Each structure stands twice: as C-alpha cells, then as structure tokens.
Structure 1
Amino acid sequence: GDAHESSEVVVSEVQLYGDVALRFVSGTAIDQGELSFLPGYVAAVDAGAKQTETKTFGIISLDHCVGNVPDLLETVEYLHRATGFHEFAEFTAKDVGTVDSGLNSMVLACNSEKVLLPLNEPTTGGRRKSQIQTYLDQHNGPGVQHLALKTNDIFSTVRAMRDARGGFALMDRPREEYYDALRSRLGEDALSAAQVEECRELGILADRDDQGVLLQIFTKPVADRSTLFLEVIQRIGCEVELPAQPEDISGAGAPGGLPQKRVEQTPGCGGFGKGNFHELFRAIEEYETKAGINKI
C-alpha cells in the first residue's frame, strides 16, 4: 500500500554472537502500526495459486530467540555493554541435562522484557559431547539454536501443523511415564486431566514456575545437521490489568456500558521449560544417535 511505498525507517544493527545481529527498526509508520514489513517490499503471492489467507497455524509472535555460544559469561558481559539487556533468568548444568551432556544457560531481556534472548554454553565431563558443543562444531561457531513461536492455543496449532505435513518434523513423543507423572510433578491445579491427555496425544511437554504454566513442543533440526530447530509454545496465566485508557473508562464497546478491562501477559510466564530440559536433551540424544551424529 501507500504506507509501504512512501514511508522511511531507520535501521541499526548490533552484533550479538557469530554472524547473528540484533536489528533495531524505528519510524513513524511503524509506531502507528501501518507497516508489516520494510518499505519497498510487497507481500509475496504465488501467481499460480488461488488467493487464500496466509497460513499462520495460530502463531502470534516470536517469544524468544536462543543462541549457542562457546563462553556464556564473555557473551553476556559483551551484550550488557552493547545493548543494555539485563539478566532475566539463569540455569546451570545442575538444573538440566542428562548423564551424558548438559549446558549452562542465561536469559537476557530488554527493559520492557518483551525481547528475550536466552544463551547456552556447553559443559564438559560427560560420556559424550554436550549437544551445545555438537551445535558449535556443526555450525562452525556460535549461532541461533532455536526460535520459539508463541500461540494462544498450542493444541490447535500442533494439529494444524501435523495436518499440513510439510516443512519440518516434530520431535518424537515422550515416553508414557512422562505423562503419567505430569500432574503430580506440576500440581493438580496446573492442567486438567483433559489437557494432560491432549498433551499426551500430541507429544506436547509441560512445565510451570511460580507464576504460570508453559506448554511446548520442538521440531527436529530443520536441516541435515544438528543445528537450528523450532519451538512452539503457549504460556498460561500471569495476566496483569493494564491502566485504563479514556475509551475504556467511557465504556465504549463494553457490554452494559461497563469499563473495558485490558490485560497483558507478563513476559516469560511459566518459565523456559527448565523441568523439560532433561526430556528435550534425551530426545535430541536419541535423534543424534539415530542420525549417526555425536555417537557415544
């Protein structure tokens, strides 16, 4: 449209790690919500296909972007200086991993905490290389390990993705024992019995922190090396009421003329699946073993 043809934006980049950059984009049209992509670009349409709505599978945003680096503290100190991001969460090898491999991890966040950048480094001393080290070897250095895509209904999203049968494969379903112990591990109030059965059916993992619940599922690596993969997540809970706006106070559009309440979910609600790191690592180890990668 006209906004995409006439608008101007300012772009600036900061190197994160390896060849990965964090891009900042500003401009009046962006602030006003008029741009969905950079000026000069147009929506790509397959000329041979019928005009249909783009398939989003219910994905609403990028929740976080995880990077693998050889030295966690060195990278964190650099990013503190370069971006001003602060520590949001931290996990050590004692919290996660299997008997064979592990990691140390820290999550960095911007001031609003709407941009979350978890970072992993490999640990040593196991019977096999850490999967983080395998990534660094096969990627030829630091890079993005996975992108977490957020949905408000992970059950519908995963079903739609499975039905589409294209692009990537999801990690194998966890063992039955995982789901048998799920409600006792998370607490009876975290998920209903029906939700646990849907998780079991679709191979979805669940975890919680003291604020909310996290549902997640991972793809297998999207290429022929054990590097980049994707995650689909849903966060449940942690809703806070936002300050009222003039239109809310007037009651416009609200049932019965009552003020319209607006709520927002706090970033990182439910955590980052610390309780599932062991299960994820086990699945990756099995994938790598079947693929002949990183053999014991």
Structure 2
Amino acid sequence: MSCSVLHHVEVCVKDEAILELLTHGFGFIHCARRVTHRASQWVLKSGGCVFVVTKRLDEEVVNGNGNGKEMNDGSRDGKKWNMDEERSHMNGFTREDEHWTVFCCQNSDSHAVDSVFNIALVVRNVDSVTERVRAMGGRILREPCDLANPQGKVRYAIVTSCCGNIVHTLIDKSHYNGDFLPGFEPVEHTRGNSDGNTTDTPNGYLEHTLENGHSKHSSNSEELARQHKEENEVDASQNLKLQLKGSPASPPLCTHIDHVTYVCRAGESRQLLDWYEQCFGMKRFFANGVETEADGFVLGGNIGLRLKAMEYWRCAETGLLSAPGASMQDSSLKLVIAEPLPDVSTSHVETFLRAHGGPGVQHIGLHTPTMANTVAFMAGRGVVFRKPPPVYYEEGVKLNEIEEAGHGSELSMFRDLGILLDTEADIFSEMEEQEGKKKYLMQVFTGPIFKQDTFFLEVIQRCGARGFGAGNITALAKSIILYNEQQQKLKT
C-alpha cells in the first residue's frame, strides 16, 4: 500500500455501520484488519484514500465482566483489561498488541461520540517532530518506538493536536516494505462482480442510471441494498470476524484525499495555524482572492463562517514526508480551518461544535477523476448527497459558470445529482489568461455520516483549480442550513 504525506485517517465508532457505507457506497476495499483486547480495526482503501475504522470494545467486555461471547475471539475470551491498565496505556504503557490503539475519547472510560480524530502523517524524523509537538504543548500519547516484522521496521509516535480531540500518528516507513503497518493482517479480496455484470462498475454506471439527465437509480437501490445485506449478514456473535467484500469499483472511484477540514472555536484559528507551522512546517494557503492574512475568507450573515487554509508540499525539507513516486496531487496535504464568527449561533460550524462536543474534523474531501460517474454510482448505492436550492442552477447564480466550463448540456444531470461547479475566476484569473484555459472544480457533499450532525464527506474533481470552491462555500452553508431546517420540520 503506497503512502503520501497523509498516511491514513482514523474513525472511532460505536458500531460498524460506516463499514457498509464506505465499501458498498463509496467503493472502498477492505484490505487489512486487526483485533486486540480493546478494539477491532478495519483498514479500507480507495486509490490513495485510506481509512482506519476503529470500534472500541464495551467497558464490561474490556474488563472481562461480560459473557465472553462479545469478544468474538476465543484466544482472548475472559481475560481482563481493567481501566487502571488502560489509563496507564494512555500515559505511555503499551501492551504488545496495543501499539496502534488510540480512541477519539482519549482518557474517557467509554465511547462518547463517533468521530474522525486521527490524521496519521508520514514524517522524516519521528523523534524530532515529537519533540516539536511537546515544546508546543501537545501531549505525547505514545513515545517514539520501533515495530518490526519480516517486512521491515516502522518507527512511530502518537501525539495530540491543539485542536479538540484530534491526534496525529507520526510514522516513518522508510525501512518498511509491508502493505500497511505491523500488527495489521492483510485481507484477501476480489474485484469485480461474480456475475460479470458491468452495470455496477462506475465507468459504465452512468448510462444505466441516467436517462436524459434524470436518475433511474431509485428503482433498484433497495434491491442492491437487500442483496448486499444478504451477502454480508453474519451471526451477531461473529461480528468482529466480519470479512467485508470490496466494491466492484475498478479503477478506484476516489484517487486520494484532497483536503481535511477542521472546525475550531471562534478566535482560535490563528493559534491553530501557528501550531501546525511550528510543529510540521506547514504554510498558509490562500484559496480566495478577497481573503486576508488576519481575517481569512469571511462569510457573514447567518452563515457566520471564517475559513483559513494551510498546505504542506512534498518539496519541503523539514517536517512531513511524501513517498517517492507519489504524485503532486496526493503528496500535498491541505488542511482547511473553519471558524465560527462571534455571535452567530445558527452557523453549521456552531452546530458541529455542539453535536461533536468541541472542535474536531468536520469533513474530508475525496478526489475523483470522473465526477458524474462517481456520484451516480454512489447515489445508486444509497449514499445521500446534499443538494443546493434549485435556484443555484439558474441564471444569475451558477448557470453561466456551468455553461462557460463546457457543462451546459449536462445541466439537468448536475441538478439531479446535486453537483456544484465553481470557476474560481477571482483568484486564478491571471493564470487563466496566460494559459487560455478555464479552471474550475466540481464538488458534492453528503449528509451527516454519523447519527450526530457532525462529520460528512465531500467528493471533488479538480479541473485546474487549486482552491476549495470559493463561490460554492455559500451554497454549501446554505444547503446545510436547508437540510437542518428540513430535518427539524420532520421532527415536528
């Protein structure tokens, strides 16, 4: 498994529902797994996008007070792992099989809220980066150490960020040739449908799901979901031995993680930017022509949002490290900081802070080279995407940009799938004039991934644009507000 600056992101959950969403809906492949006394973990991959899903065992199971069956592993049945040992573990003590175990709730005795919390990074020197984090006030959850197996040696540490519950696993794999990490067992998988049906592949999916720009997937989504459920049904007592089947997506639907977006509290973005510059050598990235160094890109009114971004390129000499051969796209790490404006309680970032219980990762952008096919495929597999108000696609809003980008004939399809388009002419106009090409991006956003209204995913295709869709940020915020209003009406 190749890596870039961003090695993987880790999700801490109470149940395995997200596994079905990522494999069946987003086309990820289950490629490795790990079961310990305290957790079960699944490694899922789509191109260069790597997610680790971690399910924490219930406290009574960890303490050995349950009936034993919940452990689902006879070699560990009935053994105790008490909370004093767990706290010691978090302060530096590590069992042989618990090297990579860390939870979104950190020192809490039980799972609090599902969260994407671990942004694992490939670094040049684990020890020096760890010391910089320590000097900047970060806690060291795992001191630097080596792990070895027949494929080589990995040096790693786990440190806290200055933002909410976010942690970073720092990894040096320069002397390791294994697929993922020591302690994770590879999972065999097959690609493609057993019946050879090409209608389930993303490259051939669009013509089967769209007719004259209108979706036809609603008629077969329930049948697809039923078939997939039957394939993956297992006895409840064996759920930690679940062998997930990969999606038939080939080539991968998503090629790499484009960006990770944090939400912080009002007034904290400056400190956060400074912390990442000092610890990892990241630099400010201006995504909009009207933003300033101090204020960032501000969206007022009931949107109440301030955005700032930072980036790390593979050519930097300190801090993070990209693997040899990694492309320029997937070897740069972009972090976006979303900060609520003071006295705006209705913003979607304030909603995140309340539901999540504090700052953290709000969304992750997955890059695809085939936007329409990818979104149609995912929607046909039950992925729910937010859609902007219909006026978004009309004259005076985005119609002209969509037509100028060469997608005017696909307008009804864009509307049907909820695809947003932004030319970013304000910041990249000089580049456009020099190269004679229109630079734009397309993007679409899911609804909340977890039960709480916190984390969501973005699918993005870049066609020369390097920003984050400045003209679409307002549309995104409005769509989230609209979604929340609709949900509230359903409740009442």
Q: Determine whether 1:11 maps to 2:159.
A: no
Aligned to 1:114: 332
CA distance in 1, matches of 2:269, 2:367: 26
- Identify if the C-alpha distance between structure 1 residues 177 and 96 changes in structure 2 by more than 3 Å, giving closer, same or farther: farther
Aligned to 1:251: none
Q: How big is the shift at 1:131?
A: 1.7
CA distance in 1, matches of 2:351, 2:244: 43
For residue 373 of structure 2, give the secondary structure of its aligned residue in structure 1: helix
Q: How big is the shift at 1:24?
A: 3.2
Aligned to 1:204: 419
Following TM superposition, the consecutive aligned residue runs of length 4 or more in structure 1 with deviations greater than 6 angstroms are: 48-52
The 5 A counterparts of 1:1-296 are: 5-16=150-161, 17-28=163-174, 34-44=177-187, 53-56=246-249, 58-70=253-265, 71-89=268-286, 97=299, 99-112=301-314, 114-126=332-344, 128-165=345-382, 168-171=383-386, 173-181=387-395, 182-184=398-400, 186=401, 188-209=403-424, 210=428, 212-237=439-464, 269-292=465-488
- Identify if the C-alpha distance between structure 1 residues 15 and 109 changes in structure 2 by more than 3 Å, giving closer, same or farther: farther
Instruction: Report the count of equivalent residues.
Output: 254
CA distance in 2, matches of 1:13, 1:111: 22
- Structure with higher Rg: it is 2
- Identify if the C-alpha distance between structure 1 residues 187 and 162 changes in structure 2 by more than 3 Å, giving closer, same or farther: closer
- Identify if the C-alpha distance between structure 1 residues 75 and 26 changes in structure 2 by more than 3 Å, giving closer, same or farther: same
Alignment check: 8 A CA contact 2:156 2:171 kept:
yes
Mean alpha-carbon deviation: is it higher for 58-67 or for 109-118?
109-118
CA distance in 2, matches of 1:77, 1:51: 41
1:237-277 per-position Cα deviation (integer Å, ceiling 9, x unaligned):
3xxxxxxxxxxxxxxxxxxxxxxxxxxxxxxx341011111
1:52-94 per-position Cα deviation (integer Å, ceiling 9, x unaligned):
6544561111111100011111111122111111001256689
For residue 99 of structure 1, give the secondary structure of its aligned residue in structure 2: coil
CA distance in 2, matches of 1:43, 1:152: 28
CA distance in 2, matches of 1:205, 1:4: 46
For residue 141 of structure 1, give the secondary structure of its aligned residue in structure 2: coil
Name structure 2 gaps, 5 residues minimum.
2-147, 190-230, 233-242, 315-330, 432-438
Which amino acid is the alignment partner of residue 208 of structure 1?
T
Which amino acid is the alignment partner of residue 24 of structure 1?
L
- Identify if the C-alpha distance between structure 1 residues 164 and 122 changes in structure 2 by more than 3 Å, giving closer, same or farther: same
CA distance in 1, matches of 2:287, 2:335: 12
Name structure 1 gaps, 5 residues minimum.
238-268
- Identify if the C-alpha distance between structure 1 residues 65 and 174 changes in structure 2 by more than 3 Å, giving closer, same or farther: same
CA distance in 2, matches of 1:55, 1:98: 44
Which amino acid is the alignment partner of residue 162 of structure 1?
A
When normalised by structure 2's length, the TM-score is 0.46
- Identify if the C-alpha distance between structure 1 residues 179 and 72 changes in structure 2 by more than 3 Å, giving closer, same or farther: same
Aligned to 2:105: none
1:126-153 per-position Cα deviation (integer Å, ceiling 9, x unaligned):
4x43221221122111100001111100
CA distance in 2, matches of 1:20, 1:216: 25
Alignment check: 8 A CA contact 1:72 1:121 kept:
yes
For residue 39 of structure 1, give the secondary structure of its aligned residue in structure 2: coil
Which amino acid is the alignment partner of residue 274 of structure 1?
A
When normalised by structure 1's length, the TM-score is 0.74
Superposed CA RMSD in Å reads: 3.2
Which amino acid is the alignment partner of residue 336 of structure 2?
P
